[in-house]
């Protein structure tokens, strides 16, 4: 049972959806219908998840009732079925504040000429734009028909088939996605390409030029890419995530367009989800680490193959350090892989623990059994569970059967923290940075011309009470065009109350909506009374441009000004 859904897939399982939607930018609503198909059933009732939907009618049903709204789950839509029914059609419209939709005015786009709409269904937001069984344990095939205003292009995370979109593989609801805007396309290879606003599309194509090489790298290790095309869509900067692995069409933040491919680990990550997550899916949000831990492990293997071991070692070392830092601030009960999410919004369970601790577990098993055996295991795991949703228990049973290993799995999964015998990433490049950092802290000048983004990040993170004015004077961090470096710099500036960086801080918070950047900076600001006042003032202005999901996170963090 999935505690984050009202639906009862144990009684009826929806197998196919037909979506038919009109996009109204003037009223900020989607309006249309969804037809849900299932095996003919004698069950009296089909329960769907909804949140803030306006239900107009249900066809081929004996009646319907919308239940009370739960703050986390939304409202159950209880549909009384006719005997032997195998479909119903719900006519509905979305609410103006749907949690899974962001409606952007032209001014919030790069091109400034046309409005933009995109969906974000993970974890449980699909229900705010489609009434359905919103649990990752249910998979559906679907067809979509979307009518957008003249001059704007609609794209769905699916195959384009004439007037329609079509997904012929069964997918969980959190992977259903739509975007509408002024989009242009650039081809990257026979089977991949990028959509973006016209002013960004060439830069995006340059940044993502290695996509085909990454696809081949995973295919060599874990078997063919099974989804046909792999395209990317660059969203406006308010996108609350770095990336979202919508099948056939990864959604990505423009903040990874650094100009030098230094942040494309994100592409490797979202691509890897085509195996870990989209092919083999967590059955509940407590099993989220099966999606993300496996994906970070695969992401690093791709980086190693495409960019070499040194790059992989740096990313893995950064990951381990950030995990330790974040874990120290989490309640002990959230330092486990199998997350306790009962009564909570699964978005809030999204810390680095399922990502980095999950990846460390796989790396530790790899170390114990050897890479060759582990790769054979992973490949058979993806084949064995392809297009299924599985629990942590399913994984453990399969692992114990197929790949005996000495790793204390129960400790890893159910106990807090990282076991002492974990694999321990190391980077020689970072050892050199550490030596340079101490030279710099002794007042000497250092040669940084060839440093990578990862080396800069490590440098900034290991400095102890550095002189920020000197850092900015020598290295111009406040003007950095690299979002990760700028974010790290701004975080340090807030911590040290380094006023000269605050104009850059305000610009950043006012233009970027990525939750991973916003949450740490606002959290740091809130630690002092002056910082709190500043946070409240900045947030008041910036909030309308943030995504509902980022708003929810920050509303909970930043108490309204008293
Ligand atoms: N699927 C996640 C994003 C997500 C997680 C959305 C939970 C909603 C709920 C995506 O694959 C992801 O992990 N994105 C990361 C980037 C990655 C390189 C670690 C992000 O957005 O920062
Ligand atoms: Zn991910």
Query: Looking at per-residue confidence, does 498 or 561 come out higher?
Result: 498
Extract long-range pairs of 497-506: CB within 8 Å, 24+ residues apart: 497/528, 497/530, 497/531, 498/468, 498/469, 498/472, 500/469, 500/472, 501/468, 501/472, 501/477, 502/534, 504/478, 504/479, 506/538
Average pLDDT over residues 44-62: 98
User: Tell me, what's the pLDDT at 561?
Assistant: 47
pLDDT, tens digit (0-9, with 9 covering 90-100), for 286-327: 999 999 999 999 999 999 999 999 999 999 999 999 999 999
pLDDT, tens digit (0-9, with 9 covering 90-100), for 339-357: 999 999 999 878 999 999 9
Average pLDDT over residues 553-558: 94
- Peptide bond connecting 123 to the previous residue in cis, omega within 30 degrees of 0: yes
Cα of 519 vs centre of ligand 2, distance in Å, is 18
Give this prediction's pTM.
Answer: 0.98
CA 101 to CA 547: how far, in whole Å?
Answer: 8
- Does residue 54 contact residue 66 with C-beta atoms inside 8 Å? no
Nearest ligand 1 atom, CA 242: 21
Average pLDDT over residues 495-507: 98
Of 277, 463, 473, the C-alpha closest to 358 is: 277
- Does residue 258 contact residue 207 with C-beta atoms inside 8 Å? yes
Nearest ligand 1 atom, CA 174: 8
Among 153-157, 203-207, 211-215, 344-348, the least confident range = 344-348
Mutate to test the pocket of ligand 1, among 240, 241, 281, 520 (most ligand atoms within 8 A of CB): 241
Helix (H) or strand (E) holding 50: strand 45-50
CA 520 to CA 495: how far, in whole Å?
Answer: 11
Return the ligand number nearest the Cα of 123. Answer: 1
User: Tell me, what's the pLDDT at 330?
Assistant: 97
Mutate to test the pocket of ligand 1, among 119, 244, 273 (most ligand atoms within 8 A of CB): 244
Q: What are the catalytic residues?
A: 270, 355
Cα of 62 vs centre of ligand 1, distance in Å, is 41
CA 105 to CA 101: how far, in whole Å?
Answer: 13
Cα of 328 vs centre of ligand 2, distance in Å, is 22
Nearest ligand 1 atom, CA 253: 21
Of 280, 278, 312, 277, the C-alpha closest to 292 is: 277
Average pLDDT over residues 7-16: 98
User: Tell me, what's the pLDDT at 465?
Assistant: 96
Return the ligand number nearest the Cα of 322. Answer: 1
Share of the chain above pLDDT 90, in %: 98
CA 290 to CA 373: how far, in whole Å?
Answer: 19
The DSSP symbol for 493 reads: H
pLDDT, tens digit (0-9, with 9 covering 90-100), for 509-540: 999 999 999 999 999 999 999 999 999 999 99
Strand partners, 37: 16, 87
pLDDT, tens digit (0-9, with 9 covering 90-100), for 247-293: 999 999 999 999 999 999 999 999 999 999 999 999 999 999 999 99
- Strand locations in 432-479 (E): none
Residue 484 has pLDDT above 80, yes or no: yes
- Residue 162 — pLDDT band, cuts 50, 70, 90? confident
Q: How far is CA 252 from CA 195, 204, 238, 256, 270, in A?
A: 10, 10, 11, 8, 9
Strand partners, 180: 117, 154
User: Tell me, what's the pLDDT at 206?
Assistant: 98
**For 414, phi and psi rounded to 5 degrees?**
-110, -10
Share of the chain above pLDDT 70, in %: 99
Of 234, 533, 247, 286, the C-alpha closest to 394 is: 286
Cα of 273 vs centre of ligand 2, distance in Å, is 7
pLDDT, tens digit (0-9, with 9 covering 90-100), for 88-104: 999 999 999 999 999 99
Pairing verdict, β 230-234 and 192-196: parallel
Residues enclosing ligand 1, CB less than 6 A? 122-123, 241-245, 265-266, 269-270, 273, 292, 347, 350, 355, 516
pLDDT, tens digit (0-9, with 9 covering 90-100), for 427-456: 999 999 999 999 999 999 999 999 999 999
Mutate to test the pocket of ligand 1, among 242, 278, 282, 517 (most ligand atoms within 8 A of CB): 242
Task: Provide the mean pLDDT of the chain.
Answer: 97
SS (H, E, C) 215-235: HHHHHHHHCCCCCCCEEEEEC
CA 46 to CA 38: how far, in whole Å?
Answer: 10
The residue contributing the CA closest to ligand 1 atom 16 is 242
Cα of 277 vs centre of ligand 2, distance in Å, is 8
Rg (CA), the chain: 24
Cα of 371 vs centre of ligand 2, distance in Å, is 23
Q: Which residues contact 538 (CB under 8 A, 6 or more apart)?
A: 506, 509, 510
């Amino acid at each position: 049972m999935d505690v984050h859904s009202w639906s009862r897939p144990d009684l009826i399982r929806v197998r196919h959806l037909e979506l038919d939607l009109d996009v109204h930018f003037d009223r900020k609503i989607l309006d249309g219908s969804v037809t849900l198909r299932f095996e003919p059933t004698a069950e009296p009732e089909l329960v769907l998840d909804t949140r803030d939907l306006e239900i107009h009618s249900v066809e081929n049903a004996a009646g319907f009732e919308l239940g009370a709204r739960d703050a986390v789950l939304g409202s159950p839509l209880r549909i009384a079925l006719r005997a032997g029914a195998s479909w119903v059609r719900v006519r509905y419209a979305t609410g103006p504040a749907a949690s899974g939709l962001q409606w952007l005015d032209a001014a919030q786009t790069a091109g400034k000429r046309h409005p933009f709409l995109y969906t974000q269904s993970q974890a449980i937001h699909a229900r705010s734009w489609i009434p359905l069984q919103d649990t990752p344990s249910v998979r559906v095939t679907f067809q979509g028909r979307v009518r957008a205003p003249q001059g704007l292009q609609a794209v769905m995370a699916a195959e384009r088939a004439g007037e329609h979109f079509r997904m012929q593989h069964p997918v969980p609801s959190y992977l259903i996605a739509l975007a509408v805007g002024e989009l242009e396309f650039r081809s990257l290879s026979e089977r991949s390409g990028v959509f973006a606003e016209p002013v960004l599309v060439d830069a995006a194509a340059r940044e993502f030029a290695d996509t085909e090489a990454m696809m081949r790298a995973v295919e060599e290790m874990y078997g063919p890419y099974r989804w046909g095309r792999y395209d990317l869509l660059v969203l406006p900067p308010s996108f609350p995530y770095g990336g979202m692995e919508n099948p056939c069409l990864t959604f990505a933040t423009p903040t990874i367009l650094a100009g030098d491919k230094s942040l494309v680990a994100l592409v490797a990550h979202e691509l890897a989800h085509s195996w870990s997550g989209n092919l083999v899916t967590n059955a509940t949000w407590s099993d989220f680490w099966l999606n993300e831990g496996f994906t970070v492990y695969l992401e690093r293997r791709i980086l190693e193959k495409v960019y070499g071991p040194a790059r992989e070692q740096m990313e893995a070392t950064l990951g381990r350090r950030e995990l330790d830092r974040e874990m120290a601030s989490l309640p002990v009960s959230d330092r486990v892989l199998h997350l306790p999410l009962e009564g909570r919004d699964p978005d809030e369970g999204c810390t680095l623990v399922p990502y980095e601790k999950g990846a460390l577990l796989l790396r530790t098993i790899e170390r114990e059994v050897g890479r060759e055996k582990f790769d054979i295991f992973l490949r058979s795991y993806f084949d064995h569970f392809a297009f299924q949703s599985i629990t942590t228990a399913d994984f453990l049973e399969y692992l114990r059967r197929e790949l005996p290993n000495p790793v204390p799995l129960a400790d890893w999964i159910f106990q807090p923290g990282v076991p002492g015998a974990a694999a321990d990433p190391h980077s020689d490049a970072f050892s050199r940075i550490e030596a340079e950092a101490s030279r710099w802290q002794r007042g000497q000048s250092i040669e940084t011309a060839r440093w990578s983004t990862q080396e800069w990040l490590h440098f900034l993170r290991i400095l102890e009470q550095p002189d920020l004015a000197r850092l900015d004077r020598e290295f111009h961090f406040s003007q950095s065009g690299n979002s990760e470096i700028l974010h790290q710099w701004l975080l340090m500036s807030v911590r040290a109350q380094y006023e000269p960086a605050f104009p850059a801080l305000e610009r950043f918070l006012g233009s970027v909506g990525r939750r991973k950047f916003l949450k740490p900076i606002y959290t740091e600001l809130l630690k002092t009374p002056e910082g709190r006042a500043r946070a409240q003032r900045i947030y008041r202005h910036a909030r309308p441009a943030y995504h509902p999901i980022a708003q929810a996170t920050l509303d909970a963090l930043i108490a309204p000004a008293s």
